[in-house]
Structure 1
Amino acid sequence: MVDKVITAYYQLHSGPGYDFVYTVDNTPRNDSEFRLHNHDNLYEIYLFLSGNAEFHIEGNIYQAHPHDIFIARPYEMHHNVFLTSDKYERIVIFISLDFFHKNGCPELERFFTERTLGMGCQIPASIVNEEMYHLLMKTNRYLQDGAEGIAKCVLTEFLYLLNHIQAPLTLPRVPDERIQNLLIYINSHLTQELTLDHLSQTFYINKYHLCRIFKTITGYTINQYINHKRLLLAHELYKSGQSLLEASSNAGFNNYAHFYRMHRKEFGTSPKAQAALAGHDSL
């Protein structure tokens, strides 16, 4: 069904940023290469080719099968979990936020944005139009030949077909529905008070038990998760024109000093230093 093309790495530049990246991975050298992460200005599509792995995203777990397609939007925390040492292969495409508007197809962005956090992320091979696989391979082939404009057109056709899939998508395995609801709540209330006591009372869960199961499922402590999401929100507000002080306050940090400490702890640099990298996929 899918041509085995494990040969390409390509990055198409457009001004200071880029429209999309097409890359192929195989068995990771170490787990840190696939640790829990997010992209603050990229959509991710990846075609799973082989291996024994799960796709974890915002507290949900999807079992990966050959030729399944997975998607993630900006700020969705996700990673792969390898269940065995079997050879792992995938094709990955990262798409910039402005790709859809720059290429006259803003309606195709809805497939990524109009869904609940961590849900609707797996398109099983059984419902994927075979032509979609061929389009991914053609994208790779055109890029190798230097035909960047044609590759972009082919990718747009792939996105069109992706948006017109009618069959139900795979439902994830939810280890604990309470944590799933908590994640949705946190992401909807980042600018409000989110103390452990408040969350414990809101969800009627003992706070020590809540901390334990949250860390087990997400890989983060509750405070780490909240601070990380607030840092990402501050970055987005800064890019929209707010000052760093305004952005930190409007993202839910009580004061700039706290924002500064959390930023250095999370990213290893000051907010001002990172602001110089505003066009890059990091805060």
Structure 2
Amino acid sequence: MKNIPTPADNTFWETRPSIPLNSRAEWDQVKYNERPIYQDTDMISSQIDAYQYYSENNSVIHLHSHPFYEFIYCCNGNPHYLLDGMLYQLQKGDVLLIPPDVSHCPISLDCMKDPYVRNVIRIDKAFAIRLSKYVPTVLSDYASPIVLHVESKNQDFWEKQFLFCVREFYEKKPGWQATLVGQTLQLLGFLNRSLGKDWDCMPRPEKGTLLNKILMYIEGHLTDKITLKNTARLFSVSESTIVKLFRRSLNVSFSQYVTQRRLISAKAYLTEDKPLEQISEALGFSDYSTFYRAFRKEYGMGPLCFQKKQKAIYHYTEEFTNE
């Protein structure tokens, strides 16, 4: 595609650490020693990052969430996308607006004929709060995830807007930080102004498939005891059918997916300063020790440490906005 870097040209892969790799050879040196990233990816900067990601049909991207805002423009490919428990069929020109702590991932990449290429802009949550002091409406429309499709006649304009941010972040020419912030604010302004105008439609979540029915069931019963046996009985299928479906589509087991969704929800609860034992019970964990071990394994820190970290960020941004 025109103006889209190739994998050898500093393109990033989503299943790698957030560090620039100059070539596919460098990527090959680290990918086999790397722990799979399920939930969090840290930003490089404390303000705005911008990347281009390239995923072939043998790529594996696990369900994850981020502590920052993420804006994705689909440049190529048509993956199924799992966003906050709902399935969407993406295509070129789709824009995903993903707020912090929302679970998401593309699925069934092995079914794609073409690589899934996207330009991604990430905005630090604390920085966004500071920005809101001067531009109150900058992210007010993005409290919940949104999926939009750009009309074909406007796709070139929107792709260039995202690609400009990516190039500024990669090339780091003099003044790039200010340029990147300014361009991102302009992009957000265009997005807000164009809602309902340049968008052909808001793609509706897919319904009717067995996978989507099971995912919706899990979303509505995270606080309950969810077992493979009971789920198979509920949907009148065998346990092996569900096991194969989750392995093929999400590359995780049924129980792993349920745990990941509960842990993502736990992060949101932890920002609300709720008691840890209450969070554990509310999300269907058998006891606090089980919750603690799962959380620490996934995030590299215990729930209490994570909660203190979030409090520190909140108090810092609150002091800044109250000045």
Q: TM-score, normalised by structure 1?
A: 0.70
Deviation at 1:224, TM superposition (A): 0.9
Question: Which aligned pairs between 1:1-283 and structure 2 lie closer than 5 A?
Answer: 13=46, 18=47, 20-26=48-54, 31=59, 35-50=61-76, 54-57=79-82, 60=87, 62=89, 64-65=91-92, 67-73=93-99, 74-79=101-106, 81=109, 89-96=117-124, 99=128, 102=132, 103-105=135-137, 106-109=139-142, 112-113=144-145, 121=147, 123=149, 126=152, 128=154, 130-139=156-165, 144=173, 145=175, 146-148=177-179, 149-161=181-193, 163-164=195-196, 165-170=198-203, 177-275=209-307, 277-278=309-310
The one-letter code of the counterpart of 2:51 is T
- C-alpha distance in structure 2 between counterparts of 1:82 and 1:212, whole Å: 15
Judged with a 3 Å threshold, the aligned counterparts in structure 2 of structure 1 residues 162 and 231 are, in CA distance, closer, same or farther, namely farther
Cα distance in 1, alignment partners of residues 200 and 242 from structure 2: 36
Are residues 198 and 47 of structure 1, via their aligned partners in 2, closer, same or farther at CA, if it must alter by over 3 Å?
A: same
Q: CA contact under 8 A between 2:149 and 2:203: conserved in structure 1?
A: yes
| Alpha-carbon distance in structure 2 between the residues aligned to 1:269 and 1:233 | 16
Quick one: distance in 2 between partners of 1:195 and 1:91?
38
Q: 1:222 to 1:185 in 2, by over 3 A?
A: same
Q: Is the 8 A contact 1:142 1:150 kept in 2?
A: no
In angstroms, what is the RMSD of aligned CA positions? 4.0
- The residue type equivalent to 1:54 in the other structure is P
- Structure 1 Cα separation of the partners of residues 307 and 140 of structure 2: 30
Does the Cα contact within 8 Å between 1:2 and 1:133 map onto a contact in 2? Answer: no
Q: CA deviation at 1:255?
A: 0.7
Distance 1:242 1:171 in 2: 34
Q: Mind listing any 5+ residue stretches in structure 1 that lack a counterpart?
A: 116-120
> How many residue pairs were aligned?
262
Do the aligned partners of 2:86 and 2:206 also contact (CA within 8 Å) in 1?
no
**Scaled by the length of structure 2, what TM-score is found?**
0.63
Greater alpha carbon shift after TM alignment, 79-88 vs 157-166: 79-88
- The change in CA–CA distance for 1:243 and 1:183 in structure 2 (over 3 A counts) is same
Seen in structure 2, the aligned counterparts of structure 1 residues 245 and 197 have a Cα distance that, compared at 3 Å, is same
Give the direction of change, closer, same or farther, for the CA distance of 1:64–1:152 in structure 2 (3 Å limit): closer
Q: Is the CA contact 1:263–1:270 (under 8 Å) kept in the aligned structure 2?
A: yes
Asked if 1 retains the 8 angstrom alpha-carbon contact of 2:121 and 2:165, the reply is: no
Amino acid at match of 1:132: W
Distance 1:216 1:203 in 2: 18
1:87-139 Cα deviation digits (max 9, x unpaired): 775321123456378242254216x43x6xxxxx4625626465433433454
Higher mean Cα deviation, 227-236 or 3-12?
3-12
Determine if contact 1:53/1:82 at 8 Å carries over to the other structure: no
CA displacement, residues 226-280 of structure 1 (integer Å, 9 cap, x when unaligned) = 1111112222211211233232222221211211232244345543455555489
1:169-216 Cα distance to aligned partner (Å, 9 max, x none): 456777x71220221121122112222333233333333323332332
Q: Is the 8 A contact 2:269 2:279 kept in 1?
A: yes
| The 10-residue stretch of structure 1 (262-271 or 218-227) with the greater mean CA deviation from structure 2 | 262-271
Stretches of structure 2 lacking an aligned partner (at least 5 in a row): 12-19, 21-42, 314-323
Partner secondary structure for residue 223 of structure 2 = coil
